[in-house]
C-alpha cells in the first residue's frame, strides 16, 4: 500500500470508528457488532504502525491511552470555571426564585438539571479537533489532562463543524457498576479502595499513565458552552441542544420550568430517582435559561446570581443492628462498630457503621437488635443517626464496652477523652493498623500495600514493624496469596520510592497521637530534620501555631520511648529521607512566617509554600501577631480581614517573587 492509499484509508477508518463510537456510546443505537468494530479498529492500528507519520493526534486509537507523562502542565482557563452558591432547603429555593424574579420584574424560566457528582473539566476544540482537555483546578488554573480525556469514549475527538473554536464544560464521572468492579478488583489485589465513585473518577483522571485511565471506564456529561466562535445562542437550552447535535453526551433529565412549586416538585422527583440512576448525583442545579436575563442578574464576587445548586441531604435508611463489633486501632483505641442488615444507601450497600465510642452509644441508647436509622456522613462514612425505640426487642440490654482487648486479651482503660484503650503496646491489632497507616496514601504512600497485603505480610512473619517493610524481598512477597512476581516487584518498587516522601510524611506515618497531616507539616517546617524534632523541648513545641500543651506532651512522650527512637534510627539507616522540603536555595526569608490566602495568579498554594521553605521561611495556617506576611491572591477571605485588623503586612504574588529574587 502506498502512503497516499494509507492516508486515504486511515481517514476513512477514523471517520467510521468515530461514527460508530457515537452511535454506541452517545446515541445508544449501535449499527455494527463489537466484532466488526474491533476489526476496523485493529486495521487502523496496523496502518498507523506501518505509517506512523500519518497518525492523527485525535486518532480513535488514542482511546486506549498513550505514552506516560512525567507531570501535568498547567492550563489557564480563558473563561473562569466558577462554582455555584449552594442551598439546602426549599425555603432557600423559593427565596432565590423570588429575588431573581424581583430583579427581572417578571417570571423567569429556569433550566433544572441533575447535579452530577464527578470532576469538572474543560474540553477545547480548534477547527473541530479536540486540542486541550483540563481539570477545573481552582477555577482559573487547571491541569492539562488531554491524553487521559481522549480515553473517555463519550468525548468526541472531532466535531462535524466549521466553527474555529468551541470550548465546553462537563463532569467526568465513574458509573456505579464500574466503581463496584474496580473496588472489588483492588480489594483482591491489595490495591487502593476508593471511598465513592467521585473519588475514583478524580484519581483515575489524574493518572500520569493514560493507559490506566483508559482501563477505568470513565464517562462524561457536558453541561455548558464556555466559548463558541462563529455562533450565538439566546438560551442555555438552545446551546445544549446544539451540543447534542455535535455529538456531545449532554446532561440528561433537564427541564425548563417556572415557579417555585414546579421546581421543588422536580427536585423531589430527581431525589426519588437518585438511587436508581447508574451514576451519582448530589443535588439539582437551577439556572436562569435566558442568556439576556443572566446579563441583567449579574454575578456576585465568586458565584453567579442567576443560578444555585440545591444539595440533597444525606440519604437515610432504616435497618436492624445485629451486633456491635470492637475494632482496635493503631493507637490502641477500641472503636465499636455496628453490624447491620445490608441496606442500599447513597449508591452503595452498607452493612456496618461506626458507633464512635461508648458515650455516643449511651447518648442514643443504641442496643443490639434495635431498628436504627443510618446515613453516610458526607456521603462517605456510614453512621447511626437514631434508634426507633418502638421496635425494640423485649429484654434488649444497654451495651457495655469490654474490659479486656478483643485482640490480645490484655486489660483496657478509659482515658479522659471518652476513648477506651488497650494497655498492650505489642497488641497484634495495633500492629496491623499502625502499618496500614504507615503505608497509607497520605503517609508514606506505598501503593499496593493495603489492608489485605499488610495482614498477609504479618501472618507470614515478614514484618513486625515499619522498618521491616524496607527489608522485604520480592521473592518472599511473591509467595504470598494473590501476589505473584509482577505484583511483588511493583510493591518493592513502591516501597523504594516511598523512601523519598520527606519528613512531614514520615512524621505523620509514625502515628504520633494528636498529630495529623497539618500538624506533621508544621513540625517538619519548624525543626527541619528528625533529630532536631526528637530533642525538641515543650517550650519550642508550644510556640508552633495551633499547638497546645497537650499536643506538645504527645510529641515529647512519643520520642521519650526508646523503641520509637530505635525505629527512627533504623529507618534512617535504611535510607529514608528525614529532612524537610527541597534543597535550600537561600536565606532570603529566614525568620519570616507566611500565611497564604486566596488564589494566586500563577502558582498553586503548595508551589508557593515550597518556595517559602526553599528560601528559609515558614508557613502557618492561621494569622496571628507572629505572622510576618500574608501572601494574598484573589478571593481572599477572613485571613486577609484578620491580617488587616492586626496590622500584619499583606503582599501579592509579585511582591513575594521580588523578595526571593525571582522578579
Out of 102-111, 178-187, 215-224, 365-374, pick the least confident: 178-187
Q: Residue range 49-61: average pLDDT?
A: 82
Percent of the chain with pLDDT over 70: 94
- Give the containing element (helix H, strand E) for 130: strand 129-135
In terms of average pLDDT, the best of 193-202, 296-305, 399-408 is 399-408
Enter the C-alpha cell of residue 48. Answer: 498507523
Homologous superfamily (CATH) of 316-401 is: Nucleic acid-binding proteins (2.40.50.140)
pLDDT at 564: 86
Could you tell me if 456 and 480 are in contact, meaning their C-beta atoms sit under 8 angstroms apart? Answer: yes
Enter the C-alpha cell of residue 22. Answer: 457515537
Q: Who has greater pLDDT, 34 or 590?
A: 590
pLDDT at 28: 57
Q: Residue range 475-483: average pLDDT?
A: 88
| Per-residue DSSP letter, 320 | E
Q: What confidence category does residue 369 fall into, taking pLDDT thresholds of 50, 70 and 90?
A: very high
pLDDT at 378: 56
pLDDT at 138: 78
pLDDT at 173: 95
Mean pLDDT value across the chain: 88
What sign has the CA pseudo-torsion 244, 246, 248, 249?
positive
For residues 305 and 288, what is the distance between their CA atoms, to the nearest angstrom? Answer: 9
Of 104, 244, 220, 260, nearest to 161 by C-alpha is: 244
Q: Return the bridge partners of 255, or none.
A: 112
Out of 193-197, 204-208, 382-386, pick the least confident: 193-197
Q: For the chain, how big is the Rg over CA atoms in Å?
A: 28
pLDDT at 189: 66
CA angle (635, 636, 637) in 5-degree steps: 110
Of 366, 363, 384, 365, nearest to 374 by C-alpha is: 384
Q: What confidence category does residue 72 fall into, taking pLDDT thresholds of 50, 70 and 90?
A: confident
Out of 19-23, 87-91, 211-215, 267-271, pick the least confident: 19-23
pLDDT at 616: 83
Percent of the chain with pLDDT over 90: 46
510-565: per-residue pLDDT in tens? 988 888 888 898 898 888 899 999 999 988 898 887 788 888 998 998 898 888 89
Residue 610 has pLDDT above 90, yes or no: no
Strands 281-288 and 316-328: unpaired
For residues 72 and 323, what is the distance between their CA atoms, to the nearest angstrom? Answer: 48
CATH class of 593-659: alpha beta
The b-or-e profile of 542-575 (16+ CB within 10 A means b, else e) is eebbebeeebbebbeebbeeeeeeeebebbeeee
pLDDT at 416: 64
Q: Residue range 134-162: average pLDDT?
A: 90
Residue 185 has pLDDT above 90, yes or no: no
Could you tell me if 230 and 173 are in contact, meaning their C-beta atoms sit under 8 angstroms apart? Answer: no
- Give the containing element (helix H, strand E) for 115: strand 110-116
Q: Who has greater pLDDT, 270 or 60?
A: 270
Q: Residue range 271-284: average pLDDT?
A: 89
- Taking CA atoms, 294 is separated from 101, 106, 235, 432, in Å, by 12, 13, 10, 56
CATH domain 85-311 topology = D-amino Acid Aminotransferase; Chain A, domain 1 (3.30.470)
Residue 29 has pLDDT above 80, yes or no: no
Q: What confidence category does residue 608 fall into, taking pLDDT thresholds of 50, 70 and 90?
A: confident
pLDDT at 27: 62
pLDDT at 262: 97
Residues contacting residue 559 through CB under 8 Å, at least 6 positions apart: 533, 534, 535, 536, 565
Residue 489 has pLDDT above 70, yes or no: yes
Q: What confidence category does residue 6 fall into, taking pLDDT thresholds of 50, 70 and 90?
A: confident
Enter the C-alpha cell of residue 613. Answer: 521553605
Q: Residue range 252-272: average pLDDT?
A: 95
Could you tell me if 228 and 162 are in contact, meaning their C-beta atoms sit under 8 angstroms apart? Answer: no
Residues contacting residue 363 through CB under 8 Å, at least 6 positions apart: none
Q: E strands of 117-250, at which residues?
A: 119-126, 129-135, 141-143, 165-173, 219-229
CATH class of 503-573: mainly alpha
CB atoms within 10 A of CB 142: 22
CATH domain 428-498 topology = DNA polymerase; domain 1 (1.10.150)
For residues 377 and 466, what is the distance between their CA atoms, to the nearest angstrom? Answer: 32
Residue 377 has pLDDT above 70, yes or no: no
Could you tell me if 457 and 463 are in contact, meaning their C-beta atoms sit under 8 angstroms apart? Answer: yes
Q: What confidence category does residue 26 fall into, taking pLDDT thresholds of 50, 70 and 90?
A: low
Residue 70 has pLDDT above 80, yes or no: no
Q: Residue range 123-141: average pLDDT?
A: 91
Which residues participate in catalysis according to the annotation?
A: 115
CB atoms within 10 A of CB 93: 19
Q: Residue range 155-170: average pLDDT?
A: 93
Q: Who has greater pLDDT, 22 or 95?
A: 95
pLDDT at 574: 95
Q: E strands of 127-277, at which residues?
A: 129-135, 141-143, 165-173, 219-229, 255-257
Enter the C-alpha cell of residue 145. Answer: 489532562
Q: Return the bridge partners of 85, or none.
A: 308
Could you tell me if 647 and 656 are in contact, meaning their C-beta atoms sit under 8 angstroms apart? Answer: no
What burial class does residue 591 get, using C-beta atoms within 10 Å of its C-beta: 0-12 exposed, 13-18 middle, 19+ buried?
exposed
Domains 428-498 and 503-573 share a fold: yes
Of 660, 636, 656, 640, nearest to 648 by C-alpha is: 640
CA angle (324, 328, 333) in 5-degree steps: 100
Residue 266 has pLDDT above 90, yes or no: yes
Question: Where do the structural domains in the chain lie, given as residue ranges?
Answer: 3-55, 85-311, 316-401, 428-498, 503-573, 593-659
pLDDT at 219: 95
pLDDT at 583: 61
Residue 347 has pLDDT above 90, yes or no: no
pLDDT at 65: 60
Q: Residue range 102-116: average pLDDT?
A: 96
Of 31, 5, 6, nearest to 17 by C-alpha is: 31
Residue 496 has pLDDT above 90, yes or no: yes
Enter the C-alpha cell of residue 439. Answer: 503505608
580-607: per-residue pLDDT in tens? 866 667 888 988 989 888 888 777 776 7
pLDDT at 51: 86
What burial class does residue 95 get, using C-beta atoms within 10 Å of its C-beta: 0-12 exposed, 13-18 middle, 19+ buried?
middle
3-55 classified as CATH 1.10.287.610: yes
For residues 245 and 587, what is the distance between their CA atoms, to the nearest angstrom? Answer: 59
pLDDT at 395: 92
For residues 485 and 491, what is the distance between their CA atoms, to the nearest angstrom? Answer: 10
| Helix, strand, coil percentages, rounded to 5, for the chain | 40, 20, 40
Q: Where are the alpha helices (DSSP H) in 440-516?
A: 451-459, 466-469, 474-478, 484-498, 503-509
Q: E strands of 4-107, at which residues?
A: 74-76, 85-87
- Taking CA atoms, 391 is separated from 319, 351, 395, in Å, by 11, 20, 12
For residues 236 and 517, what is the distance between their CA atoms, to the nearest angstrom? Answer: 43
Residue 521, phi-psi category: left (phi > 0), alpha (psi -120 to 50), beta (remainder):
alpha
Amino acid at each position: 500500500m502506498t502512503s497516499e492509499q494509507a492516508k486515504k484509508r486511515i481517514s476513512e477508518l477514523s471517520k467510521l470508528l468515530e461514527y460508530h463510537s457515537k452511535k454506541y456510546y452517545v446515541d445508544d443505537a449501535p449499527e455494527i457488532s463489537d466484532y466488526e468494530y474491533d476489526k476496523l479498529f485493529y486495521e487502523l492500528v496496523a496502518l498507523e504502525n506501518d505509517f506512523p507519520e500519518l497518525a492523527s493526534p485525535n486518532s480513535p486509537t488514542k482511546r486506549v491511552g498513550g505514552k506516560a507523562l512525567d507531570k501535568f502542565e498547567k492550563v489557564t482557563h480563558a473563561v473562569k470555571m466558577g462554582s455555584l452558591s449552594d442551598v439546602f432547603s426549599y425555603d432557600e429555593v423559593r427565596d432565590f426564585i423570588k429575588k431573581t424574579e424581583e430583579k427581572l420584574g417578571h417570571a423567569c424560566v429556569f433550566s433544572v438539571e441533575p447535579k452530577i457528582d464527578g470532576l469538572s473539566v474543560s474540553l477545547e476544540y480548534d477547527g473541530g479537533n479536540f486540542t486541550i482537555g483540563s481539570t477545573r483546578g481552582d477555577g482559573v488554573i487547571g491541569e492539562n489532562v488531554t491524553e487521559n480525556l481522549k480515553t473517555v469514549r463519550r468525548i468526541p475527538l472531532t466535531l462535524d463543524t466549521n466553527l474555529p473554536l468551541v470550548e465546553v464544560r462537563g463532569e467526568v464521572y465513574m458509573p456505579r457498576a464500574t466503581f463496584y468492579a474496580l473496588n472489588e478488583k483492588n480489594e483482591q489485589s491489595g490495591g487502593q479502595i476508593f471511598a465513592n465513585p467521585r473519588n475514583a473518577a478524580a484519581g483515575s483522571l489524574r493518572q500520569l499513565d493514560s493507559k490506566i485511565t483508559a482501563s477505568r471506564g470513565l464517562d462524561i456529561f457536558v453541561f455548558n458552552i464556555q466559548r463558541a466562535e462563529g455562533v450565538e445562542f439566546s438560551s442555555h437550552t438552545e446551546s445544549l441542544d446544539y451540543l447534542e447535535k455535535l455529538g456531545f453526551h449532554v446532561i440528561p433529565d433537564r427541564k425548563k420550568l417556572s415557579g417555585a412549586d414546579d421546581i421543588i416538585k422536580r427536585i423531589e422527583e430527581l431525589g426519588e430517582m437518585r438511587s436508581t440512576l447508574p451514576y451519582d448525583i448530589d443535588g439539582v442545579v437551577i439556572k436562569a435559561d435566558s442568556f439576556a436575563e443572566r446579563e441583567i442578574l449579574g454575578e456576585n464576587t465568586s458565584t453567579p446570581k442567576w443560578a444555585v445548586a440545591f444539595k440533597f441531604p444525606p440519604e437515610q435508611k432504616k435497618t436492624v443492628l445485629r451486633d456491635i463489633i470492637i475494632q482496635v486501632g493503631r493507637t490502641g483505641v477500641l472503636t465499636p462498630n455496628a453490624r447491620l442488615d445490608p441496606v442500599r444507601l447513597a449508591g452503595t450497600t452498607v452493612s456496618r457503621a461506626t458507633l464512635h465510642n461508648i458515650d455516643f452509644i449511651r447518648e442514643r441508647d443504641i442496643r443490639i437488635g434495635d431498628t436504627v436509622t443510618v446515613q453516610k456522613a458526607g456521603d462517605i462514612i456510614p453512621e447511626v443517626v437514631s434508634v426507633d425505640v418502638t421496635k425494640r426487642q423485649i429484654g434488649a440490654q444497654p451495651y457495655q464496652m469490654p474490659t479486656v482487648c478483643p485482640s490480645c486479651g490484655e486489660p483496657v482503660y478509659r482515658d479522659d477523652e471518652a476513648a477506651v484503650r488497650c494497655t498492650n503496646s505489642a497488641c497484634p491489632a495495633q500492629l496491623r493498623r499502625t502499618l496500614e497507616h504507615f503505608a497509607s496514601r497520605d503517609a508514606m504512600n506505598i501503593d499496593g500495600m493495603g489492608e489485605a497485603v499488610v495482614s498477609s505480610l504479618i501472618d507470614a512473619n515478614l514484618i513486625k514493624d515499619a522498618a521491616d517493610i524496607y527489608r522485604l524481598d520480592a521473592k518472599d512477597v511473591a509467595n504470598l496469596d494473590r501476589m505473584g512476581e509482577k505484583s511483588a516487584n511493583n510493591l518493592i518498587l513502591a516501597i523504594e520510592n516511598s523512601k523519598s516522601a520527606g519528613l512531614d510524611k514520615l512524621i505523620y506515618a509514625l502515628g504520633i497521637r494528636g498529630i495529623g497531616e497539618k500538624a506533621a507539616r508544621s513540625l517538619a517546617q519548624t525543626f527541619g530534620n528528625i533529630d532536631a524534632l526528637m530533642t525538641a523541648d515543650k517550650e519550642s513545641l508550644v510556640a508552633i501555631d495551633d499547638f497546645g500543651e497537650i499536643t506538645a506532651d504527645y510529641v515529647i512522650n512519643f520520642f521519650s520511648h526508646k523503641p520509637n527512637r530505635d525505629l527512627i534510627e533504623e529507618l534512617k539507616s535504611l535510607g529514608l529521607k528525614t529532612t524537610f522540603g527541597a534543597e535550600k536555595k537561600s536565606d532570603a526569608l529566614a525568620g519570616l512566617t507566611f500565611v497564604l490566602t486566596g488564589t494566586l495568579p500563577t502558582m498553586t498554594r503548595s508551589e508557593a509554600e515550597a518556595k517559602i521553605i526553599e528560601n528559609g521561611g515558614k508557613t502557618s495556617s492561621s494569622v496571628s501577631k507572629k505572622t510576618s506576611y500574608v501572601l494574598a491572591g484573589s478571593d481572599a477571605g477572613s485571613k486577609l480581614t484578620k491580617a488587616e485588623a492586626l496590622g500584619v503586612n499583606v503582599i501579592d504574588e509579585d511582591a513575594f517573587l521580588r523578595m526571593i529574587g525571582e522578579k
